[in-house]
Structure 1
């Protein structure tokens, strides 16, 4: 393919423009990388100087006391389980096992076979009479009287208080 001289010059000029544009783009990218590195450095410094102390202070102020309280509570629960619950469970298991041993004993079985069980006696319940209703009424009246006495004691009675405005005209009180 043969190009005219004019076209060759235009292509050479276009190539020079593209190379120049490419070098400008490379400079812009280098400057952008430098700015990004500096921004990252400044973000790290800001984090170390401002964010980390605030986070540490918030942790010490809010989180650590609750963690310590939770650990203390867990230790108290562990101590209670180890010293109160487990010995009680062990005692109950031992008691059940000893009752089982006693129940298997031939002497106990012979003694139980000699016992004659009686039928349970059912006692009929008496119906409520008039005295019960009178007693309930008296109890309600007594409770109402006590409640009224308490209310009278604690209510605000404006007539019991004398204000400074009602003082005698000849006397002057200053507080």
Structure 2
């Protein structure tokens, strides 16, 4: 493919302009790198001479006294927290765990008795645990209220299901067919 002399000159000029632009861009990048290096150097000087002393001064006047006060307060409150933990929390957790283990033991004994066919022994084991836990025999007021609320909730659920699935022809209204516009 041969080009005319005019097109060849234009291409050579374009190539020359592109080469000049490339060289100028390389110069701009080199100058920007030198400027960035100088800025980094000045920022390091500024932070070392201006910012570091201010930060040190702020730390000494605000942070260190607050930390000291917090440390002293924590020392006082740590003893109170330890006493509460040892005196209140650990015994309560121990009692709860002991009660739970006792319930598990009685449930296992009742289950094994029922499995062996000794239903009266299983019944005695269950009632013994219930009366030992509450200090009385028979269901309490809370149990009666809970059972009553459960029955009411079940009845409400059954009513809602019945209402959903019942066949009621009056619920459906037939769509009217659109009438053609009258041309008056």
Q: TM-score range by the shorter chain?
A: 0.3 to 0.5
Q: Which entry has the higher C-alpha Rg, 1 or 2?
A: 1
Higher relative CO (Cα under 8 Å, sequence separation at least 6) belongs to 2
User: Would you tell me which structure has more helix in proportion to its own residues?
Assistant: 2
